[in-house]
Amino acid sequence: MTTLLAVDWGTTSLRAHRVVDGVVVETRSSSDGILTVAADGWQDALNRHIGDWRREEGAATVLSGMVGSRQGWHEVAYQPLPADAHALAAGAVMIDAATAEAEWGPVRILPGLCHRDPADVMRGEEVQVLGALGALHRQSGRFCLPGTHSKWVDVDGGRIIGFRTHMTGEVYAALKGHTILGRLMVGEADDTAGFAAGVAQSASTAGLLADLFGVRARGLLGELPETGLAAYLSGLLIGHELRSAMATASTAEPIVLVGAQTLVERYRRAAELLGLVTHSAPETAAALGVWQVALAGGWL
């Protein structure tokens, strides 16, 4: 029996998985993202969440995500494209553990990936894509990872060959919370009719900047209730993202959605309204991807 401890450590959250023989058998989640950890507190923070696993298993621990960024535990250089599990393993950095913890197993941090022309970077999504490939028994396709910074990733022959970032989630939060558009909004983006209207409006040739003011105008003119405006804004932004991403698609294959169920479902609804076919990857894709990297690196 082979065990791996895979930790997806992002800016605002941490998800730890105990993986046994390629199967996720236990998961722990926390809001202790990298922004909450003191400069000298990384090892303590890790052990606070999975110290019992490490003592019990003596297994390799592999971290992915923003923990490898400049603001994280140790900055790990981005790897260039194309990249697969072997490239990520080759770019990993091993952390020097305290002597008392040496027997608990090594700790490694994985790199992210970079794309030039246009410039783009990602950390964490790459292992989710690798895990989704394995779970769905695929070697190619277009993957969408919704989030604060949504990623669209192209894969061919098991290698990530390109990606683009859309700041959809962050723009939604900023517009809703810090501009005049949010003044009329009541509640969150859970109004089905408002969301569908926003997705439909994304077909407008006026452009996103013009469409955005229409969020306020529809509220003022009574075309949408105040309880539907947040959903309208969400649908408008996601609709524009989907249209932009699919305009450069080189394949008619279904889009593979990877991520938290709530966001995946929202993107699935928007895609369906646009006549696009989607598949969903398991929420454990990140852990499954880290397992593949560990196998490629010979760490198991």
The answer to the question of residue 186 being in a domain is yes
The answer to the question of residue 173 being in a domain is yes
The answer to the question of residue 159 being in a domain is no
Provide the whole-model pTM: 0.92
Task: Identify whether residues 291 and 257 lie together within a single domain.
Answer: no
Task: Identify whether residues 170 and 115 lie together within a single domain.
Answer: no
* pLDDT greater than 70 at residue 262: yes
Task: Identify whether residues 8 and 107 lie together within a single domain.
Answer: yes
Task: Identify whether residues 80 and 174 lie together within a single domain.
Answer: no
Task: Identify whether residues 113 and 197 lie together within a single domain.
Answer: no
Task: Identify whether residues 43 and 128 lie together within a single domain.
Answer: yes
Residues 265-280, mean pLDDT to the nearest whole number? 96
* pLDDT greater than 90 at residue 133: yes
The answer to the question of residue 147 being in a domain is no
More confident residue, 248 or 212: 212
Domain count, the chain: 2
CATH no. for residue 253?
Answer: 3.30.420.310
* Element containing residue 109 per DSSP (H, E): strand 107-109
The answer to the question of residue 66 being in a domain is yes
Task: Identify whether residues 205 and 92 lie together within a single domain.
Answer: no
Task: Identify whether residues 268 and 293 lie together within a single domain.
Answer: no
Residue-by-residue DSSP string for 123-189: SSHHHHHHHHHHHHT-S-EEEEE-STTEEEEEEETTEEEEEEEE-HHHHHHHHHHHSGGGGG--S-S
> Which residues contact residue 152 at a Cβ distance below 8 angstroms, ignoring those fewer than 6 apart?
142, 143, 144, 145, 163, 164, 165, 166, 245
pLDDT in tens, 50-84: 999 998 877 889 999 999 999 999 999 999 999 99
CATH no. for residue 134?
Answer: 3.30.420.300
Task: Identify whether residues 123 and 24 lie together within a single domain.
Answer: yes
Task: Identify whether residues 274 and 292 lie together within a single domain.
Answer: no
Domain that holds residue 108: 3-138+285-297
Task: Identify whether residues 180 and 235 lie together within a single domain.
Answer: yes
The answer to the question of residue 85 being in a domain is yes
